[in-house]
Amino acid sequence: QVQLQESGPGLVKPSETLSLTCTVSGGSTNSYYWSWIRQPPGKGLEWIGYIYYSGSTNYNPSLKSRVTISLDTSKSQFSLKLTSVTAADTAVYYCARAHNTGWFVDSWGQGTLVTVSS
Amino acid sequence: DIQMTQSPSTLSASVGDRVTITCRASQTISAWLAWYQQKAGKAPKLLIYEASTLESAVPTRFSGSGSGTEFTLTISSLQPDDFATYYCQQYVNYPWTFGHGTKVEIK
């Protein structure tokens, strides 16, 4: 069974870049849509974007100018970069796998809290 | 963006109750809808996809129905493990969007 694990700094200063990596184990990164989803404290879920195993990406228009998602199949990892962060970007960030035949999320990482504060 | 509206936002129920949560989409999404369960401090867990298909290993007391713009998640007999927050998600269009959640509390 595939497992996903987020890693990266838990504290980022305003205006800096948030960088997270997701390591995939128990399965290949070939196929599927590798995604990032976030959840501000006490709030709902927001899809950030995905990278398909082919390398194509799609981002939420609300974040598109600041987001880059990349994939390293040799390491079974995919990454998120979010630039020019503000306090509004404070959230639990989940990496996730969206299914090939329909873009529902069938596997989630445990989530990592990233706080934006000076 | 397609807006997903869940109701109620909070639901108080007792063990053994039949519980129904509604999710409405701002435009038709056919059956491209998923339901997730999230417990405090944990990642969401997929329950149902394509509006009514039960994910593997999910108890059969969970069921989903609907198509177009109106969908329901039903728990036929609420169990202690079911007290959680439930989210719907549409995946017909980008950006994929979620409802704001329905918290099922102990009455």
> pLDDT digits over B7-46, tens only?
999 999 999 999 999 999 999 999 999 999 999 999 999 9
Residue A105 contacts B, CB cutoff 8 Å: yes
What's phi and psi for A87, nearest 5 deg? -60, -30
Chain A: give the shortest CA distance to residue B46, in Å.
Answer: 6
Do B100 and A60 count as a contact with CB atoms less than 8 A apart? Answer: no
Query: Which of B2, B35, B86, B96 to substitute to test the interface with A, most A CBs within 10 Å?
Result: B96
pLDDT tens profile B54-103: 999 999 999 999 999 999 999 999 999 999 999 999 999 999 999 999 99
Cβ(B4)–Cβ(B99) under 8 Å?
Answer: yes
pLDDT at A9: 97
Mean residue pLDDT of chain A comes to 95
A2 touches chain B (CB under 8 A): no
Compute CA distances A104 → B28, B44, B88, whole Å: 17, 12, 10
Residue A10, pLDDT score: 97
Q: Give the number of beta-carbon pairs within 8 Å between A and B.
A: 55
Which of B1, B44, B91 has the CB atom closest to A102's CB atom?
B91
What's the pLDDT score for residue A101?
Answer: 80
Chain-chain contact of A46 with B42 (C-beta, under 8 angstroms)? no
pLDDT at A100: 82
